[in-house]
Amino acid sequence: MSDPLRDAPEFAIETEALAKTYRTETGGSVRALNGVSLQVPRGSIFGLLGPNGAGKSTLINILAGLVVRSSGTARIWGADIDKQMRLARSAIGIVPQEVNLDAFFSPREVLEVQAGLYAVPKAERRTMEILEALGLADKADAYARSLSGGMKRRLLIAKALVHSPPVVVLDEPTAGVDVELRRQLWAYMRTLNDDGVTIVLTTHYLEEAEEMCDRIAIIDRGEQIACEDTPTLISRLDQRTLTITLEETLTRLPAPLIAFEAELSGERTLTFRFSPSRTTVGELLSVVQGLGLTVVDLATRDADLEDIFLRLTGMDEGDSRSAGRNDPQAGAAALARTEPKI
């Protein structure tokens, strides 16, 4: 059996002007994807972000062969998804967001059947190796219906790995799972990536994407609005927040601070949102101290992926800030639009 990583292409996935239009029952049309062109570097962890209804699932389903594109091209590991269908599909493993397991199959049977569908010779199957790696070896012969939610999600990942694909796509893999399981899943994904497997991730957990992904693309309303290395993307937003705690109590914002767009966040708290390229923290502190105010404490926060996401998609920052900073799952819900998923 040939090594899938030998003579590997520069890009694990390439799409060019990829588009998909759905027809509605009333005779109209919905443009789910509109000219999306992506290049996913081989061996990277690539983030595909966007609100619900942005077109992420449509893109993944096109790559998986579940949806027929309207126009454009797509290649997986150098193979055109239409002209070289078998090669393209054998090069990718899809971990869906929805659990799609036969309730009366055991994990061992699920993987054996999946391996058979991909024509993996019995001598080359890694069923128990994969189950062991994902912590499911002791459940190898249990009914899938008896597994916990987290175990079922791990089994979906195992199912996507039976044919040793060089590209793995995970659609919201950590949605609704606990913190410990999330860490375990990402530890395993990093191990796969270290072995040369390209990981494509969709998620609403922006802190997770910022930490995990080498490169990120953002899709909104079917349009690709960004695709850059993660540090470069974050640096596009020249913004920093300075929070100052005062010893004195203020009833209103001092006039000299209005020019700096300061906010009185509490009786003793001032918040500045400023551009580091134009204003320094020292200048702001000088203004505050020049008013005879005593600084008790201060904290700064640089722009992160969430700020970029909200800016580029035009979403209400307040919704996510109030929900997501202290509760990641609530923040993810705030970032999800109410349109049907496309």
Please report, in tens digits, the pLDDT of each residue of the chain (342 residues total): 445 445 689 999 999 999 999 998 888 999 999 999 999 999 999 999 988 888 998 999 999 999 999 999 999 999 999 999 999 999 999 999 888 899 999 999 999 999 999 999 999 999 999 999 888 999 999 999 999 888 898 899 999 999 999 999 998 887 767 788 788 888 888 999 999 999 999 987 788 888 899 999 999 889 998 999 988 888 777 788 899 999 999 988 998 998 888 999 888 999 998 888 788 999 999 999 999 999 999 998 877 777 778 777 776 544 443 344 434 443 444 444 334 444
The total of other beta-carbon atoms located within 10 Å of residue 159's CB is: 22
The total of other beta-carbon atoms located within 10 Å of residue 293's CB is: 19
Q: Residue 340 has which token pair? A: 């049907």
- The full set of domains in the chain, from first to last, is 238-302 (3.30.70.1560)
Residues in the chain: 342
Query: What pTM, to 2 d.p., does this model score?
Result: 0.74
Backbone φ and ψ of 228, nearest 5°: -150, 165
Strands (E), the chain: 11-23, 29-41, 45-49, 71-76, 79-80, 92-95, 167-171, 198-202, 215-220, 223-229, 240-246, 263-266, 269-274, 295-302
Q: Which helix (H) or strand (E) holds 190?
A: helix 179-194
Helix axes 317-324, 328-335, angle to 10 degrees: 160
